[in-house]
Amino acid sequence: MKKKLWPPVMLLAMRITGFLMLVCLVELHATGYSQEVKLTLKLNGVRLDKLFDIIQQNSDYKFLYNDDDIRDSLVSVDVKKATVPEILALCLKGRQLRYNIVDKTIIIAHNNSLPARLTTPPPLTVTGTVTDAKGAPLPGVSIVVKGQQTGAVSDGAGHYRINVPDNAALVFSFVGYISQELAVNGRATLNVQLQEDLTKLGEVVVTALGIQKEARQLGYAATTVKGADVAVNRTPNIGNSLQGKVAGLNVSSVNTGAGGSSKIRIRGASSFKGNNSPLIILNGVPMNNNSYGARKNDAEGNTSRAESYTDGGDGLLSINPDDIESINILKGATAAALYGFRAKDGAIVITTRSGKRNQGIGVEVNSNFVVDRAIDQTDFQYEYGQGEQGLRPQNIADAGNTGTWSFGEKIDGKPTIQFDGQVKPYSAVKNRINKFYRTGYTWSNTVSFSGGNDKGSFNLSMSDMNNESIMPNSGYRRQAVNLGLNYAVTSKLQVNVFANYSHEKSQNPPNVFVQQYNANTTVYSLANTMDLTDLKEHRRDENGNERNISRFTPRTNPYWIAYERFENIVRDRLMGNISLRYDLLPWLYIQGRAGQDYFTRSQDYNVPTGTRFLGPVTTGFNGQYYQEVVKFRERNYDFLIGANRKFGNIDIDLTLGGNQMVQINENNNVVVNNFFIRDLYTVQNGQIKDPQYLYSEKRVNSLYGAAELSWKNYLFLNLTARNDWFSTLNPNSNNYLYPSISTSFVFTDAFKLPSWFNFGKFRIAYAQVGGDTDPYQNNLYYVLNPNPHLGLALGGISGTLSPNPDLRPLKVKEFETGMEGRLFDDRIGFDVAWYRKNTIDEILSVQISGATGYAATLVNVGRLRNQGIEWLLTGVPVNTSAFRWEVNINGAHNTSKVLELAAGQPSIIVGTGEYTGRLAHEVGKPMASLQGTAYLRAPDGQIIFKNGRPANADAVKTFGSAIPTWTGGVINTFTIKGVRVSVLVDGKFGNKLISNTNFNLWRHGLHKATLEGREQGFVVGKGVMEDPNAPGKYIPNNVPVPVQTYYESVRSNNNIAEEFVYDASFIKLRQITIGYDLAKLLGSRSPFKGLAVSLVANNVAVLSKHTPNIDPEMVTAASDNLQGLESGGLPMTRSMGINVHVKF
């Protein structure tokens, strides 16, 4: 039987896409711009400038008018297939306004003004280029001589030519931009840069279900990030490009290289589970953003049953930044309420490019090249070298056993035996970070084709991103094709198609967090006189096995890991959707949409034969090989019925819809141990094979509706409700309702306020949303043992959790209120929000009697709370024709509190550090308590010593929370004669971390604090000891302890964590971008519509921190259950390079 490669819906989408692209291209070639465009419009109570904007977007006309002439003018229009002159005649009837069309420019003038006409061309010819604030050319800008009607319009490249008197002044006007007046003063060339006028264009926000709304209508907080803001100064994972740019958005880059995950949290964590990521929506349809690899979600260890602790990346890696039109962050429960059970953490709505109408055919090429260098933040001691107990290595065995200890003799340059038998000077080897980690690079290239006429538009792009990691022999590559297309088949039928295919390969991603098989851990603990070149060249012994460098066998030679180990992760992914919208009546439409996210992910890796931590085998060769294929498919089918009617001053907008989600996961893997033939890593060559197959499926059916009522376009009331039916829950109680209500009041439109108060809005909202549950938690299931007994199959109960038939999804109830405004002609803007969200029915594990055959069961009892404030301040301190300074300040303060845990437990442990520390949730305290062993202290707070060594307290101590309470960023943008300079500084404050790296540096003698006592050969700890003559009383400690024994006490005394708890607050110079459009210098005959060149830098500098030897932002897992437990990640990298964007 022949296997179907594509589901029917995708075949249909591909066929329709091909047909529509052909039709669109034929019409573009045949007709070009439509001079007699006919429009169908239904608008109620909109401003005239908004009407002009709509006409401009759907035709080749441009408008020129005086703001005072149309101020406060509202119109309503309901026409079908009307020409632009017909629409204008209808809308201007009865008003003291008239229009005149001059060469595609429509001039709106008051009846008392002089008629619009063209004057005789004066003697001086002026040419130039008009651009926006970012240097992109602006076509269609109207240029007129002040006091006359002599006019011109900029072309597609922003160029213009006009004849004027030499003493004239030119006025540059464009809808949505602030008009600018410049005196000619005899100059033949005038280049102009226009700034956006936010009062003229209502900002459009893509909300839940892909519905577009004006920002004034929203009763909740939402922030829009433009595609250019993540494409020019980019990161391989677009999630990391949002760092510091959005209030309330906490973004952390997982330190695993270009193919790593991005950890994103909105308004804190809404559950005790490890995954609290927002829902990602791509072009209206949810996409899988799970982080694949070790220590994901709630997992403590590796999730692939073998020796790999790598980060396999998340779903956002599949998206090319050049394809993004906009990113909308829906922060609260109300914003995402229509997503019901998936909305507990908010949503990020990504819209990709689909071209623009009436633009003709265009080609764009974007190339971005950056160089990556590891940032060395170490500050080790280089006075005493390799060895133990004050002695340098005396023989090869000593050298091989002490390669990760720096408790030797004072460094003196004398000849000393090495681990490979060589004799070399006993000298300090500095700069280990940049000696081991190479200079990496990332090169991204995108070619896109776009076009549009009066019926539709499209954008087709092909991209390639190639990364060479700073980790030797490691890298990541993504190749992608993206298509966006919209087309009006008829005046009533609209088709939209989006598709994204990506082929991604991650080569040898680094192991992180653990000590075993982790090159980072070894590099950071190597003795300070070890030569890294010898480690690389002599990593193998005479038998081809790993040469000994440490008596700790898990401390693998980092070059053995880099060059003997392999790991390959390949993902092929197809995401897309097709929607059909039909206008039944001018005020009523119906829409259907089918979308799919499908990928296959293959992974294989080895543990090489001869690796020292592997045990010997009786026959054959030791080693391990793992192979896995994951298949994921999610289909979403939805429909919408929408209606909009106006009754006097009341506007009613109703939406009714439904969705079916089907999600299927398959995992087929096998691990083999020991081999018959050396260095042949295949399943067939394995001596012991352990195969496994996993399958899960779930469905959720949903119905939802939304109603919006508005009064005079300044008072809005929004109501939504969604009901979900779950296949994963008891059929008798498997449906839940998620309602929301919000209101928005634009008080500047309702009341007459001072002219400097341009815009003001109050908003308030409340919603209930949910959290999903995994399949197969409410019934009993069985599993077969892979190995039979006496020829008979053995079965057993699957898992250790007792099924709970009454399990239900958690709920999040959130209230928020806020205010936003713009003042002094938009020179000052603000947006402030306060919220409180309570999580109830959290699903937690409760221990039960072992007599049941289970260890625990899941129940709905957990409760927690997050509350906080967010703010955004914008300003334009300086705005002249030659210089503009814009500033954007965003910040957020969030506090959390654990209100209840299962069965009255005071705390639950959710994660542990590799050496020391753990993460817990404690009732009455903020989430994510960092706990660990503390020093035993006397009543006056001094450390108590026993036998000269610091004693540890019996009770575990809480040191603080791993979650920052304050986050924020400041963006300063300077535009100087067309040169645009942007600087981003961001920071996080109020959280702690436990550094396992510093724990290692301390006990291995690299930490500078371990210099104390070296000269004498012993340490007398500062503190007290119990008086032997007066039990219960304390005297100063006076017992000397050998240096190495003293500093290793942190490990031997129950892994003391207190010494390595640090304030994780930081301030960073995150980004610098310097750009200029060279097309301005090439003249009007140049083939380039744009030639923007930008110098970019990322992770430029750490301005403030409190963590020695490591970066305070070190994150080695996407899971919330391991936050604050730093250990063994790649060092932070600084990236510097260039971005070139060419438009033809």
The pLDDT tens digits for 1042-1054 are: 999 999 999 988 8
pLDDT, residue 111, reads: 65
More confident residue, 887 or 103: 887
| pLDDT computed for residue 103 by the predictor | 56
Average pLDDT, the chain: 87
Identify the band that residue 32 occupies on the pLDDT scale cut at 50, 70 and 90: very low
Write the CB contacts of 244 (distance below 8 Å, at least 6 apart in sequence).
Answer: 251, 890, 968, 969, 971, 984, 985, 986, 987, 1070
Identify the pLDDT of residue 778: 66
Residue 13 confidence (pLDDT): 44
Read off the pLDDT of each residue in 485-491 and give the average, rounded to a whole number: 90
The conformation of residue 361, written as its DSSP 8-state character, comes to: -
Average pLDDT on 136-144 reads 78
Q: Is the pLDDT of residue 1070 over 90?
A: yes
The pLDDT value given to residue 42: 76
d(CA 206, CA 224): 9
Buried b (16+ CB within 10 A) or exposed e, 865-895: bbbbbbbbbbbbeeeeeeebbbebbbbbbbb
Residue 19 has pLDDT above 70, yes or no: no
Residue 799: inside a domain: yes
CA 437 to CA 520: how far, in whole Å?
Answer: 10
Q: How many Å apart are CA 728 and CA 806, to the nearest integer?
A: 11
Q: Has residue 382 been placed in a domain? A: no
pLDDT exceeds 90 at position 743: yes
When pLDDT is cut at 50, 70 and 90, the band that residue 38 belongs to is confident
Residue 474 included in any domain? yes
> What is the amino acid identity at position 577?
N
Range of the domain at 901: 238-373+441-517+565-803+815-928+963-991+1067-1143
For residue 590, name the pLDDT band (cuts at 50, 70, 90): very high
pLDDT given at position 81: 78
Please give the pLDDT value at position 28.
Answer: 39
Least confidently predicted of 290-299, 570-579, 876-885, 944-953: 290-299
By percentage, how much of the chain surpasses pLDDT 90? Answer: 60
Instruction: List residues bridging with 660 in a β-sheet.
Output: 637, 701
Of 788 and 546, more confident: 546
Over range 21-29, report the average pLDDT.
42
What pLDDT score does 115 carry? 43
Separation in Å, CA 870 to CA 223, 247, 423, 888, 965? 12, 6, 62, 14, 12
pLDDT at 555: 92
| Window from 314-318, 548-552, 723-727, 783-787 with minimum mean pLDDT | 783-787
Flag whether 840 is in a domain. Answer: yes
Mean pLDDT comparison of 31-45, 846-860, 1032-1046, highest-scoring range: 1032-1046
Q: How many CB atoms lie within 10 A of CB 848?
A: 16
**Which of 566-580, 599-613, 782-796, 1097-1111 is predicted least confidently?**
782-796
pTM of the model: 0.82
Q: Would you place residue 84 in the very low, low, confident or very high pLDDT band (cuts 50, 70, 90)?
A: confident
pLDDT of residue 559: 97
The model's confidence at residue 446, banded by pLDDT at 50, 70 and 90, is: very high
Give the per-residue pLDDT at 498.
Answer: 96
Model confidence band, residue 1088 (pLDDT cutoffs 50, 70, 90): confident
357-368 average pLDDT score: 85
Select the more confidently predicted residue: 295 or 689. Answer: 689
315: pLDDT strictly greater than 80 = yes
Element (H, E) at 796: strand 795-797
Which among 1013, 1037, 878 is positioned nearest to 951, based on CA atoms? Answer: 1037
Q: Is residue 1050 part of a domain?
A: no
Q: Does 57 fall in a domain?
A: no
CATH number of the domain encompassing residue 623: 2.40.170.20
Determine the average pLDDT of the residues in 858-865.
85
pLDDT for position 299: 44
* Residue 355 in domain: yes
Q: Other C-beta atoms within 10 Å of 110: how many?
A: 15
**433 within some domain:** no
pLDDT of the residue at 746: 93
The answer to which of 470-484, 711-725, 941-955, 1081-1095 has the lowest mean pLDDT is 1081-1095
Q: What is the pLDDT of residue 12?
A: 46
Count of structural domains, the chain: 1
> Is the predicted pLDDT of residue 465 greater than 60, yes or no?
yes
Distance from C-alpha of 345 to C-alpha of 331, rounded to nearest angstrom = 8
pLDDT band at 197; cut points 50, 70, 90: low
> How large is the average pLDDT for residues 61-78?
72
Mean pLDDT for the stretch of residues 404-419: 96
Tokens for 514, please give them: 């653990």
* Sign of the alpha-carbon torsion through 301, 302, 305, 306: negative
